[in-house]
Amino acid sequence: MARADLLVDLVKYAISGNKGMVKKVTEAIVAEEREKATYDIG
């Protein structure tokens, strides 16, 4: 699950209409989640 601080920032920037920061925070959340992902093939 994404960090609470990033989720709070995402909502804050979305409400204020700051599309650039919404994209930046969303990308940070996705990158963090991808780092944690484990793939079990088998």
Answer whether 0.95 is exceeded by the pTM: no
User: Given a cut of 70, is residue 40 above it in pLDDT?
Assistant: no
- Contact between residue 22 and residue 10 where contact means Cβ atoms under 8 Å apart: yes
DSSP, residue by residue, 1-42: ---HHHHHHHHHHHHHT-HHHHHHHHHHHHHHHHHH------
Q: Which carries the bigger pLDDT value, residue 27 or residue 39?
A: 27
User: Given a cut of 70, is residue 42 above it in pLDDT?
Assistant: no
For 1-21, how does the pLDDT look when each residue is reduced to its tens digit (9 = 90+)? Answer: 679 999 999 999 999 999 999
For 17-28, how does the pLDDT look when each residue is reduced to its tens digit (9 = 90+)? Answer: 999 999 999 999
